[in-house]
Structure 1
Amino acid sequence: MIGLCLGLSGVVWAQLAVADFTLAWNHTIEKVRWEEDYRVSEQGLVLGEARVKGNGAGMEIPEHARLENGSWHYQRQVPPLQPLKLGRTPQAGDYQLCFDGRCRAMSYWLGPPTARQPTVELWSCGLS
């Protein structure tokens, strides 16, 4: 069975038995929520729909996006990500992973973001 691994440079810090999840965060300057839906596959993390609550500095809404329930919904065509690299610092706040109807800060599995470890990677992996 495959699932989601969190760590860095192939070193697993946490494993989650999920087939799909939403990655959510607040933009560091504009404080606007972003969400991206991913499916875990053998090839990597497949990006599905993305949503953003508004635009601002460095946050242009794609032309093909549609406004629905207060968020702009859109899809980008990118190959599966293996790994997905994220910057994670105390100043930026934490990402949330949402699955099974619940969202939790990444710190639930990894501890709080730290300046000495400013990066985390997510990838599909075999669960042990």
Structure 2
Amino acid sequence: MALCILAGAKTVALAVSAFSLSWTHSVEKITWQENWQVTPAGLELIEARVKGSGAGMEPPEDAVLQDGWWVYRPKVPALKKLSLASSGATSSGWTICAEGKCLSVGDTAGEAVLLEPCRQDG
């Protein structure tokens, strides 16, 4: 499997089956992290972690506090695409990490970023 990242007019394909997505909340200035898998069904959210709560980012009741992070498994179906919209209200965009390498996207306000499994032609 591979992850395709469309940011502005640029497309990047990462030959990975799993990745992490992290960002800083625009109001609370707290880090949020998610682990995703790229599957034939789409992008599957495996685990989420948040360093605190407030402003619409309260961890669910089944979250467990581990090393300063509220960790939980979101109950959402696989997504065909994940759209990230940059508001410009944060100090940075998103960081996508896989296999020890990271890429920053969405640093510019209004820059649309789309994540999806790459199409397998043939």
Structure-1-length-normalised TM-score:
0.82
SS state at 1:126 partner = coil
Aligned equivalent of 1:16: 14
Q: Distance in 2 between matches of 1:15 and 1:121?
A: 12
Kept in 2: contact 1:66–1:73 (CA 8 A):
yes
Aligned equivalent of 2:72: 74
Aligned equivalent of 1:60: 58
Kept in 1: contact 2:105–2:113 (CA 8 A):
no
Q: CA deviation at 1:90?
A: 3.5
- RMSD over aligned CA atoms reads 2.1
Q: Distance in 1 between matches of 2:57 and 2:88?
A: 21
Q: Distance in 2 between matches of 1:15 and 1:101?
A: 16
Deviations 1:15-38 (A, max 9, x none): 111110000000011110000100
Deviations 1:82-121 (A, max 9, x none): 10111124333210001113433126xxxx4243xx3211
- One-letter code of the match for 1:67? L
Deviations 1:23-67 (A, max 9, x none): 000001111000010000111101101000000111111100000
* 1:32 maps onto 2:30 in alignment: yes
Q: Distance in 2 between matches of 1:80 and 1:113?
A: 27
Q: Identify unmatched segments of 5+ residues in structure 2.
A: none
* 1:96 maps onto 2:95 in alignment: yes
Kept in 1: contact 2:24–2:32 (CA 8 A):
yes
Aligned equivalent of 1:125: 118
- One-letter code of the match for 1:123? E
Q: Identify unmatched segments of 5+ residues in structure 1.
A: none
- One-letter code of the match for 2:37? R
Aligned equivalent of 1:105: 104
